[in-house]
Amino acid sequence: MNRLAPIGAAARPATMRSTPGKAEAGATPAGLVLDGVEIRLEGRSLLALDRTVLPGETLTVMGPSGSGKSTLFAFLAGFLDPAFTARGRVLLDGRDLTGLSPQARRVGLMFQDALLFPHMSVGGNLLFAVPGRVKGRKLRHAAVEAMLSDVGLDGFFARDPATLSGGQAARVALARTLIAEPRALLLDEPFSPLDQALRAATRDLVFDRIEARNIPAILVTHDPADAKAARGAIVEIGGAQAELQATPAAAAAGSRAAR
C-alpha cells in the first residue's frame, strides 16, 4: 500500500510503476524503507509516503515546485526545519535513521548545483569526503585518484573547481558523494543545469554507479526524461498529475485550497 499525498492533491488512482511491498514485520530487508512517513506543517498534512526502495534501484519523486519535494528530501537527509513535524520511520538496511544526525545516516546528497567547496581543489573536495577509516595520506590520495578516474576525470586532482565546466563539476560532485561510501543516495534535480547532451551522459553515469554499488536512491525531479533514465519507480506529487489516494485530511485541505 503505497501512499503519497501532497497538499492539494486530489484522490487519483495509482498510475505509477513501482516495486510494491512494504517491509514485512520482523524482517530487516536491505534498501531504503519509508515506513508510514507523514510530514505535517502546522497540523496539516503535507505528504505521506509508505514505500521501499531496493538496493540498486532508484525511486523518482516528481512534482512541480512547491509540491513538497524539498521537504521530503530534507526529512530523509536529516535537515527538516523544526517547523515541520514528521511521523513514521525511515529504515536503511535495517537501521532506523529517524533519530539519527545527518552525519550518522550515511546518506549521500547531490543537489541541482554541484556545490563544490570553492576553497578546496577538486582533489581536496574528494579528500574531504574519503571516510575516516582510510588512514594515511597515500591511501587517501590513491582513493581519490581512483574515484576521479572512475568518473573520467583523470588528472583533475589539482584543478580549481571554479574552472570546471558544468558537466565536469557534476561529475566531481558525484565522485565526492560516492567516495564517502554512502548506503543510499538522495538526488535533488542534479541534472537540471546541464544541457541536453551532457545531461544524458551524466545521468547514465550516475545511475550506472548506483546500480554498480547496489545502493538505493531517491531522485527528486520535474523532468520526465530524468525519471525515465532512472529506470525505477515513479511517484508523482502535486499539480494535475498528483497521484495516489490522499489522506482524508489532505483531501479536505486540498479542497479548501481549491476554492
> Given candidates 78, 88, 166, 239, which one binds another protein under the rule CB under 8 A?
78
105 binds another protein (CB under 8 A): yes
Least spacing, CB of residue 161 vs another protein, in Å: 6
Which is nearer to another protein, 185 or 246 (by Cβ)?
Answer: 185
Residues in contact with another protein, shown as a per-residue x/- string from 112 to 151 under the rule CB under 8 A = -x-xxxxxxx------xx-xx-------------------
Which is nearer to another protein, 43 or 132 (by Cβ)?
Answer: 132
180 binds another protein (CB under 8 A): yes
- Range in contact with another protein (rule: CB under 8 A) among 9-17, 38-46, 155-163, 245-253: 155-163
Least spacing, CB of residue 109 vs another protein, in Å: 4
- Range in contact with another protein (rule: CB under 8 A) among 37-45, 88-96, 108-116, 243-251: 108-116
Which is nearer to another protein, 76 or 242 (by Cβ)?
Answer: 76
> How many CB atoms lie under 10 A from the CB of residue 258?
8
Burial of 28 (0-12, 13-18, 19+ CB in 10 A): exposed
Which is nearer to another protein, 75 or 207 (by Cβ)?
Answer: 75
Which is nearer to another protein, 43 or 82 (by Cβ)?
Answer: 82
Q: Interface residues with another protein (CB under 8 A)?
A: 70, 74, 77-82, 101-109, 111, 113, 115-121, 128-129, 131-132, 160-163, 176-177, 180, 182
